[in-house]
Amino acid sequence: MFAPGAGRPLGVAAGLLVLGFLLELVHLLPLSYPLLALLILGTGFWAFFAGFFRDPERTIGDGIVSAADGIVQAVTEEGDRTRICVFMNVTDVHVNRMPLDGTFSRIGTSGSGYRPAYRPDADQNVSRTYDLETAYGTVQVVQITGIVARRLVSFVHERDARRRGDRFGMIVFGSRVDVLLPHSRLTPVVRPGDRVWAGRSTIARVRV
């Protein structure tokens, strides 16, 4: 399964590549090493993009789940909120998922520049913030661009309601996703260096 919007262009590209190879095999196209090299190179590019835009089904975890695949970069306290940062490598699945049930009250884009997403000042990069109204108060999810990742994609609009684990967007080619949780209601259960998967890995639980 591919990310929303990616299936059709990948399918068309695959069809053209297969057609090119078939025409070469039955000699309807003259044998041309440059053309063959181009087809092989095109197949390599197709395989890379197919891997990047993959969107596997997930068994949804319990509690508050990660919004992104990747490595937990930081877990910090910021006033009355806890920020959990997840860094996505280019090889990770880049479709982002809801950390919990909620309704989008605001979606806004801000920031400037495209610093490497692993740097501490990357939170000043161009980013898209999603305010979620949840049973535990306002939760924010922030998609942050990087030096290569410069396209933020949203699958939702303001006032849309989604369930935990639902897809809400993606970042094209790596970067970072932060989840900001109300500290008084939710406590993190991950730490820097942990590997997490969007929709599947529990990153926080309700305080008791």
CATH code of residue 112: 2.70.70
Helix boundaries (H) for the chain: 7-25, 33-52
174 & 141 share domain:
yes
Give the pLDDT score at 163: 97
In a domain, 186, yes or no: yes
Give the pLDDT score at 125: 84
48 & 119 share domain:
no
Contact 173, 145 (CB under 8 A): no
- Which segments of the chain are extended strands (E)? 64-65, 70-78, 81-88, 95-97, 102-110, 127-134, 137-144, 151-154, 161-162, 167-172, 175-182, 186-188, 195-196, 202-206
Task: Say which of 32, 66, 110, 175 is annotated catalytic.
Answer: 175
174 & 132 share domain:
yes
pTM over 0.85: no
Domain region containing 41: 7-52
Give the pLDDT score at 7: 46
- Identify whether 154 is a catalytic site residue: no
93 & 131 share domain:
yes
In a domain, 181, yes or no: yes
Give the pLDDT score at 81: 96
46 & 68 share domain:
no
In a domain, 2, yes or no: no
69 & 44 share domain:
no
32 & 120 share domain:
no
**How far apart, in Å, are the Cα atoms of 14 and each of 30, 90, 127?**
21, 22, 33
| List of the chain residues with pLDDT < 50 | 2, 7, 10
pLDDT digits (tens, 9 = 90+) for 39-63: 667 676 656 565 656 688 999 999 9
- Count of Cβ atoms closer than 10 Å to residue 144 Cβ: 26
77 & 169 share domain:
yes
What is the identity of the amino acid at 206? V
15 & 76 share domain:
no
Sign of torsion over alpha carbons 84, 89, 91, 94: positive
In a domain, 125, yes or no: yes
48 & 129 share domain:
no
Give the pLDDT score at 32: 65
87 & 13 share domain:
no
In a domain, 144, yes or no: yes
41 & 71 share domain:
no
Question: How many structural domains comprise the chain?
Answer: 2
